[in-house]
Amino acid sequence: MNSTARSPIRVTPLPRPGRRVAERRKQRSKGTGDAIELALSAAAQGSDLDVVLIADDYGMLVASSSTDLDLEMLAAITPIVSRGRAKATIKRNGEHRDLSVKSIKVLGETLHVAALGGQPSTRALGVMRSVTAARRILG
């Protein structure tokens, strides 16, 4: 047998009609507001972030992960940071917290998804999970 032979690629079979697919979400919601809050909360918790929020192009808070923090000021600067016109210097309990922002278009509107805290790699993952959720739920 040839030592350079490769093992075959194994592909997971597609679901068959009538076959139940395992639900990946832990909670389901009926409304858009609840759905986006649950999705952002899951992204924040899964990436060990302080908070994930979505702000519109005017800096108004659209949605956020579940938190007791007042996010109005953070939402207000999010579009400015996203455009590269300012760098956010944020402290929480006297400790420096990094902010990552990604802009997306949803139904012709520009939204800015921001994640505060955590490590750079996990924060990037949290932002991407939030972007995917925002496009799916709000689009």
* Digit-coded pLDDT (tens) for 54-113: 999 999 999 999 999 999 999 999 999 999 887 887 888 889 999 999 999 999 999 999
Beta-carbon contacts of 42 under 8 Å, excluding residues fewer than 6 positions away, are 26, 129
Q: How many Cβ atoms from other residues are within 10 Å of residue 36's Cβ?
A: 22
| Residue 46 backbone dihedrals phi, psi, to 5 degrees | -70, -25
Question: Domain 32-138 belongs to what topology?
Answer: Beta-Lactamase (3.30.450)
Specify the higher pLDDT residue, 92 or 128: 128
Quick one: pLDDT at residue 88?
80
- Which tens digits make up the pLDDT trace of 35-59? 999 999 999 999 999 999 999 999 9
Total count of residues recorded for the chain:
139
The pTM (predicted TM-score) of the whole model is: 0.77
The full set of domain ranges for the chain reads: 32-138
